[in-house]
Amino acid sequence: MEIIESLKIKEKAYIEKLENGLTIIIIPKKNTNKKHIVWGTNFGSIDNHFVDPTTNKEVRIPDGVAHFLEHKMFEQKSGVNSLDKLMSLGVEPNAYTTNDHTAYYYECTDKFYEALDELMDYVQNPYYTDENVEKEKGIIGQEIKMYEDDPSWRLYINGLDCMYHKNEIKLDIAGTVESISKIDKEMLYSCYNTFYNPSNMLIVACGNFKPEELLKDIKERLIEKKDQGKIERIYEKEDETINKKYKEDKMPISIPLFMIGFKDNPNKEQKVKRHIAIEILLNILIGKSSKLYQELYDEGLVTTRPDTGYEFSKNYAHVTIMGQSKDPKKVEEMFLKQLKEIKNNGIDDNDFKRAKRKIYGDYVIEYNDVGDIARIFLSDYMKGVQSFDYIEDFDTVNKQYVEQMLKEVFDEEKMVMSVVNCE
């Protein structure tokens, strides 16, 4: 097994790529009773146009297939629901679909191997019928309508619509009621066989494991499949400009919601270094210790610090700042004023050092929890980055580079605003 190590936090990851193409990452943690394992496939909501590796023909599928597949994976031919069976063992199982991957996981202190039997059985043995697919359409249809009625989700989706012209990131992960109506069992089996091939999948485990022993146990439970090779994905060509500057909805809420977004270029090099710099900048601009947050709080414009983040994958990248305010326009005005001030005067040395310490501390804390560690390694792998780089490359991010990112990423021409107002 290949071993990668972070000397700064004294963590190791053992990596093995099997002959069938499956990658397995094991991060041993001795001082914990918890164990977490996640099995992910590089198949998300944006992967609706691709070349079938077995036929070499272009395939288009309706929006929402990856999420639909995730829902159907727990139902077994025997009539047993694997989610219920795992819960009966006393473990904490679940699954989720993102823009670029789908994942199945559980966390436990006991009965790890009994649960491993079930996880590796249901992920490798799909069971779809005309009846259970039709039944699921009604269930997912209700979920879609629920999200449509969720103000925070509407805010976010509208913000993405402002940023992107055609990029599939704009799509609701679950699809639409109309798009899922086109899904049938043959389509699900076809997509399963394409995207759930071992060569497109990753298993990450974190806990008190002996890596060689766990690797052997996983191999014993694998169904024999051949590496089908890389899947060619076809994405809409996206313009660098934003789609629209502003979008507003009205919903039955007591305080308006706002999202400020900045569209970034996903094709830039040094993705990890860029991400670190942006997180430092967000802390300086509107973190809890920032001048702007204090002013917003003192004026009663916000009561809690806005949520900030940087999302990126192989074909999209953007900054988000989301919160509640009685006057979103005033928040935007004060944010822009602070942004211009820092661009003109440069970043204060003390602010830079404080923010950098805060972000580094956040990274280190994530390595205290087995679930966080497994999730980080899975998500980063799907993005094409190495998780330990966030720790190992941290010192290379100096003030000069952060100021460069300030001008490059926080560009008013690439800035959008989404608002959900009170009805």
The one-letter amino acid at 206: C
Per domain, the residue ranges of the chain are 2-233, 246-422
Structure tokens at 94: 């679940």
Tell which CATH architecture fits domain 2-233: 2-Layer Sandwich (3.30)
Q: Measured in whole angstroms, how far is the alpha carbon of residue 329 from the centre of its chain?
A: 29
pLDDT digits (tens, 9 = 90+) for 103-146: 999 999 999 999 999 999 999 999 999 999 999 999 999 999 99
pTM (predicted TM-score): 0.94
DSSP string, 53-85: TTT--EEE--TTHHHHHHHHTTB-TTS-BHHHH
How does residue 413 score in pLDDT terms, banded at 50, 70 and 90? Answer: very high
Check 11, 70, 107, 238 and give the catalytic one: 70
The predicted pLDDT at position 54 comes to 87
Rounded Cα distance, 197 and 92, in Å: 25
How does residue 229 score in pLDDT terms, banded at 50, 70 and 90? Answer: confident
Is 408 an annotated catalytic residue? no
How does residue 291 score in pLDDT terms, banded at 50, 70 and 90? Answer: very high
What is the dotted CATH code of the domain comprising 246-422? 3.30.830.10
Same CATH topology for 2-233 and 246-422? yes
pLDDT digits (tens, 9 = 90+) for 11-51: 999 999 999 999 999 999 998 999 999 999 999 999 999 99
The one-letter amino acid at 41: T
Average pLDDT score over residue span 72-80: 92
The one-letter amino acid at 85: K
